[in-house]
Amino acid sequence: MNTKYLKRRQKIKFKIRKKIAGSPEKPRLVVFRSSTHIYAQLVDDVNGKTLGSASTTEKDIKSKIENIKGKKEKSKVIGKTIAERAIANNIVNVVFDRNGYLYHGRVKAVAEGAREGGLKF
């Protein structure tokens, strides 16, 4: 991958992380995207723990998305899944961390899926 792009994203990522932080009551919903997969995590920054995660590499999610075409639609399923897991842990409010990516495309689809699943941010 282009190092110029990575440096730019890191710079944006650090700027975002200065402003937001997750707590046990309101964790940070972090999105990471690779060229083929998308990952979402609920992070409690106070205790330094991951409260839940979902990704397109998990077996149970792979079976859900194998018939879905398009990365955006798969990302929306990840958003809904992370919302279900958060609500199961009594988490309704989160802080969205786009992780230096533009709020567009797959990152936006994860956010929309999480909102549809019942999360508030």
Domain at 54, CATH number:
3.30.420.100
Contact 55, 38 (CB under 8 A): yes
Specify the number of domains making up the chain. 1
Give the pLDDT confidence score for residue 28 in this predicted structure.
95
Contact 95, 20 (CB under 8 A): yes
CA distances from 115 to 7, 85, 103 (A): 30, 13, 15
Domain of 41, in residue numbers: 3-117
d(CA 6, CA 82): 26
Q: From its phi and psi, is residue 28 left (phi > 0), alpha (psi between -120 and 50) or beta?
A: beta
Half-sphere exposure of 87 (CA within 13 A, CB side): 13
- What sign does the CA torsion over 105, 81, 42, 53 have? negative
Q: Mean pLDDT by 10-residue block, N- to C-terminus, for the chain (121 residues)?
A: 89 93 93 96 94 95 92 96 96 95 96 96 90
Give the pLDDT confidence score for residue 2 in this predicted structure.
84
**115 alpha-carbon distance from chain centroid:** 12
Instruction: Give 43's DSSP letter.
Output: E
